[in-house]
Chains A and B, each alone.
Chain A
Amino acid sequence: MVSAIHILNASDIGNDHLELIARRVQETFATTTDISDRPFNLSRAYDSSRGQYNSTVLLAELLNSSPPAENKLIAVVDVDLYIPVLTFVFGEAQLNGRAAVVSVQRLSNEFYGLPQDEKTTFRRLEKEIVHELGHTFGLFHCRRYDCVMRSSTYVEEIDLKGVEPCESCRTALKGVRWNPS
C-alpha cells in the first residue's frame, strides 16, 4: 500500500525521530505516511559560489526521482538551503503541489554557536515539516502567533509558534479536496 505522504530522510536525523514526527503529520493531515532513506542526489542543487543548496532545484530533483504514485513528498536534508533572492530558507514547498523540502541545518543551535539541544532541534523540525506540508495542502502563512503556519524567518520565531494549525487553518484544511491514490 502506498502512503499518502512520503517522508524522505536525507539527513543524519534518526528514522525513529522522524517516526514521531510522522505521527504528528498523520494526525494533522488525517492521512497515512511512510519514511524512507533512499539515495537522493543533492549535488545538482549545489551552488559553489554561495556554498548553499538551491531549494527550488532540490524540489525539482525530488519530483524527478520519485514515483508518481507517491502522492506528497517531503525531503529532510541537513544542508543549508537558499532561494536565489534570499540569503537562506528553512525549507520550501510547492504551494498546492506535491513536494516540499526542509533543512535541519539552521534549526540546530550548533549552527548559531550554541550548545547542541536535540529536543529543540526536533521540535523545530516537527513544526517546519508540518508547515511546509501545510503549503502543499494550499495553506498560506497565518497571522496567529501560535499557528504552525505562521511565517518564521528567524529561528527563535519557530520556537514561539505551536506545532498545530490554528482553527481557521484547520477549517481551510478540511475544505481541501484531496484524493490520494
Chain B
Amino acid sequence: MNSAISILIVDDEKIVRDSLSKWFREDGYTVGSAEDAASALRQMQAKKWDILLLDIKMPGVDGIELQQRIKEIDPNATIIFITAHASVDTAVQALKSGAFDYVTKPVDPDYLSHLISNAVRQRVLANENLKLKEQISEFSKADEIIGESPCMQKVYELIRTVASTDTTVMIRGESGTGKELIARAIHSNSSRRYFPIVPVNCGAMPEGLLESELFGHERGAFTGAQYRRKGKLELADGGTLFLDEVGNIDMKTQMDLLRVIETKQFTRLGGNDVIKVDFRIICATNKDLEKAVAEGSFREDLYYRINVFSIFIPPLRERKGDIPVLANFFVKKYARTMGRQISSISADAMDALVRHDWPGNVRELENAIERAMVVGKPPAIRGEDLPFQLLERRTVPASGSLAAMERTHIAATLEQNHWNISRSAEILQIDRVTLYNKIEKYGLKKP
C-alpha cells in the first residue's frame, strides 16, 4: 500500500501544492505540503518524509539550499526538484548536490508518475538494504565478550574508541584471554563490517607457508602450486586482516608485510601483477615484542607500524569477579549446543572455579565447563565434575620428584573419575595399558 510512503511538497505556489497533493493522494500516498523552507524544515523535524519535491525558486531559502539542510536532518531523503525555470546549470547543480531527479513545470503526468514510481522503488530498496545490513550486523556480531570488571569496562571503552577509526590495533594479553574476540568486536563495530575479517594464525605456520598464505601464489610458483591461489591479503580487501601471534613471524615475511602495510600493494608469489588492497590490520600477540625488538628478532619499523593503538586484556586471575559471569555464560552455551538440562553451577563448584588461577585464562575456563557439562548430571555442575578441583585440594610436594608428582596426579585423576580407567586414561592422554602399568608401579589401590 502506497500510504507507507510519504511525500512532502515544498512550493511557494499554493496551486502547485494543492494540485500535486491531490494527484499523489489519489495514488494513496501520505502527502504533506509546505509553502517555504522554514515550514518544510519544521515538518521534517516532526516527521520522517520519504520523498521531497522541492521548488528551486522560492523566496528566502531556495530549493538548493533547503536540500542541504534537509540532508543534514535525513541524509537518506529522496529529493526531486521542480521548477518553472528550466536551465541546464540549475539541473546540473541540483543533481550534483545529490537530488534524485529534476523536473520542469508543467510536467508530463506519465513522466511524473514514472519518476515517483522509480523514487519509491529506490526508497523501498534503500530501506530493504538498511534492514538487511542490520540483520547482517546481528549475524556478524562477534561472540559475546563477557566481563563486568572495571578492567574489562576499560577494554570495552577502548574498543568503542578505536572501532570507528581505521587505526592499526595491537591486542596484547596472555594466551586464552580472547584476543580474537576483541579483534572481531572491533571489526564488527567498524565501517568495514560488511567486508570480511580474515584471521591468520602466524604462529601456526612454517616460514614459506605463511608467506604463501598471506600473499597467495601463481600456478607453478613452487612445487605443488598447481593452481593460482588468492592470499589472505587479497581476501581481506575492504575488510580487516587479523594477524594473530604476530610476534612469531619470521624476518623475511616481516619485511614483506611491512612493505604491504606501507604501500597497500603486493604481488602473488611467482607473479608479476601488482595487486592493490585496502584493509585494516589488527594484530595480537602474547609475546614481549619490545624484548624481541631489542634482541633483533622483530623489526623495529614493523613494530612501530603495528603498535599504534594498544589494547591489553588482563588475565583472568586479575579479574576474578568475571569468573561467575563467564562460567554461567558457558553453561548456558553448552547446555544449548549439547542439549543438556544442566542450567547452573553449585556453590562449591563456583567457589573452586573462583579460587583457581586459570593459567590458560578464559579458554581454560571454557574447556573446564565444557568437560563438566559432559561428565556432570542435571540440574547443576558439582565440584567433582570439575577437572582440577581434587588436584587443588591435594598438597602436591613443590620440591617432590617427577615420579612423586606423577603418582599424585594419576591418583587424583583416578579418584576424580571414580576409578574409571578408560576415562582417566583419556584425560591423562595415555593408553589404558600404560595406566594399568603406572597404577601397579605406584601401588595405587581402588578405595
B15 — which chain A residues lie within 8 A by C-beta? Answer: 56, 84
Q: Smallest CB-CB separation from A132: which chain B residue?
A: B26
Residue among A82, A95, A153 with the highest chain B CB neighbour number at 10 A: A153
Tell whether B108 is near chain A: CB-to-CB under 8 Å. Answer: yes
A84 — which chain B residues lie within 8 A by C-beta? Answer: 13, 15-16, 19, 105-106
Give a binary string over B104-119; 1 marks a CB under 8 Å from any A CB, 0 the rest: 0111111011000000
Least CB distance from B421 to A in Å reads 75
Tell whether B332 is near chain A: CB-to-CB under 8 Å. Answer: no
Range for the number of chain A residues in contact with chain B: 10 to 19
Q: Is the CB of B109 within 8 A of A56?
A: no
A82, B16: Cα distance in complex, Å: 12
**Residues of chain A in range 159-181 having any CB-CB distance to chain B below 8 Å:** none
Q: Is the CB of B27 within 8 A of A86?
A: no
Given contacts A95-B22, A151-B113, A153-B113, contact A87 B106 (CB under 8 A): yes
Q: Count of B residues near A, CB < 8 Å? A: 22
Tell whether A6 is near chain B: CB-to-CB under 8 Å. Answer: no
B20 — which chain A residues lie within 8 A by C-beta? Answer: 85
Interface SS majority for chain A: loop
B109 — which chain A residues lie within 8 A by C-beta? Answer: 86-89, 153
Given contacts A95-B22, A140-B27, A140-B28, contact A85 B113 (CB under 8 A): no
B22 — which chain A residues lie within 8 A by C-beta? Answer: 56, 83, 92, 95
A135 — which chain B residues lie within 8 A by C-beta? Answer: 26
Least CB distance from A101 to B in Å reads 13
Tell whether B18 is near chain A: CB-to-CB under 8 Å. Answer: yes
Q: Is the CB of A85 within 8 A of B26?
A: no
Least CB distance from A128 to B in Å reads 13
Q: Is the CB of A140 within 8 A of B23?
A: no
Tell whether A154 is near chain B: CB-to-CB under 8 Å. Answer: yes
B19 — which chain A residues lie within 8 A by C-beta? Answer: 56, 83-86
Q: Compute the total of residue contacts between A and B using a CB distance below 8 Å.
A: 61
Q: Is the CB of B106 within 8 A of A141?
A: no
Q: Smallest CB-CB separation from B15: which chain A residue?
A: A84
Q: Is the CB of B108 within 8 A of A87?
A: yes
Q: Smallest CB-CB separation from B25: which chain A residue?
A: A95
B23 — which chain A residues lie within 8 A by C-beta? Answer: 83, 85-86
**B27 interface neighbour in A85, A87, A141, Cβ under 8 Å:** A141
Residue among A84, A85, A92 with the highest chain B CB neighbour number at 10 A: A85
Tell whether B37 is near chain A: CB-to-CB under 8 Å. Answer: no
Tell whether B316 is near chain A: CB-to-CB under 8 Å. Answer: no
B27 — which chain A residues lie within 8 A by C-beta? Answer: 140-141, 151
Tell whether B52 is near chain A: CB-to-CB under 8 Å. Answer: no
Give a binary string over B264-284; 1 marks a CB under 8 Å from any A CB, 0 the rest: 000000000000000000000
Given contacts A56-B19, A151-B113, contact A82 B26 (CB under 8 A): no
**Residues of chain A in range 124-167 having any CB-CB distance to chain B below 8 Å:** 135, 140-141, 151, 153-154
Least CB distance from A49 to B in Å reads 11
Tell whether B10 is near chain A: CB-to-CB under 8 Å. Answer: no
Q: Smallest CB-CB separation from A140: which chain B residue?
A: B28
Least CB distance from B112 to A in Å reads 7
Q: Is the CB of B110 within 8 A of A140?
A: no
Q: Is the CB of B110 within 8 A of A154?
A: yes
Q: Smallest CB-CB separation from B103: which chain A residue?
A: A85
**Residues of chain B in range 1-36 having any CB-CB distance to chain A below 8 Å:** 2, 13, 15-16, 18-20, 22-23, 25-28
Least CB distance from B139 to A in Å reads 34
Q: Is the CB of B18 within 8 A of A56?
A: yes
Given contacts A56-B18, A56-B19, A151-B113, contact A86 B28 (CB under 8 A): no
Give a binary string over A69-94; 1 marks a CB under 8 Å from any B CB, 0 the rest: 00000000000001111111100110
A109, B25: Cα distance in complex, Å: 29
Tell whether B82 is near chain A: CB-to-CB under 8 Å. Answer: yes
Q: Is the CB of A153 within 8 A of B110?
A: yes
Least CB distance from B115 to A in Å reads 11
Give a binary string over A50-82; 1 marks a CB under 8 Å from any B CB, 0 the rest: 100000100000000000000000000000001
A11, B13: Cα distance in complex, Å: 31
A85 — which chain B residues lie within 8 A by C-beta? Answer: 16, 19-20, 23, 82, 105-107, 112
B28 — which chain A residues lie within 8 A by C-beta? Answer: 140-141
A116, B180: Cα distance in complex, Å: 78
**Residues of chain B in range 66-123 having any CB-CB distance to chain A below 8 Å:** 82, 105-110, 112-113
Least CB distance from A93 to B in Å reads 8
A95 — which chain B residues lie within 8 A by C-beta? Answer: 22, 25-26
A67, B203: Cα distance in complex, Å: 93
Least CB distance from B395 to A in Å reads 82
Least CB distance from A171 to B in Å reads 14
A154, B108: Cα distance in complex, Å: 10
Q: Is the CB of A87 within 8 A of B13?
A: no
Residue among A84, A151, A154 with the highest chain B CB neighbour number at 10 A: A84
**B106 interface neighbour in A56, A82, A154, Cβ under 8 Å:** A82
Instruction: List the 4 closest pairs (A to B, CB-CB), nearest first.
Output: A153-B110, A83-B19, A140-B28, A153-B109
Taking A86-B108, A92-B22 as known contacts, 19 extra A-B pairs with beta carbons closer than 8 A to each other, sorted by chain A number, are A56-B15, A84-B13, A84-B15, A84-B16, A86-B19, A86-B23, A86-B107, A87-B108, A88-B108, A89-B109, A95-B26, A135-B26, A140-B26, A140-B28, A141-B26, A151-B26, A151-B27, A153-B112, A153-B113
B-side residues, CB < 8 A to A, are 2, 13, 15-16, 18-20, 22-23, 25-28, 82, 105-110, 112-113
Pull 10 A–B residue pairs with CB atoms less than 8 Å apart, ordered by A: A83-B19, A83-B22, A84-B13, A84-B15, A85-B107, A86-B23, A86-B109, A140-B28, A153-B112, A154-B110
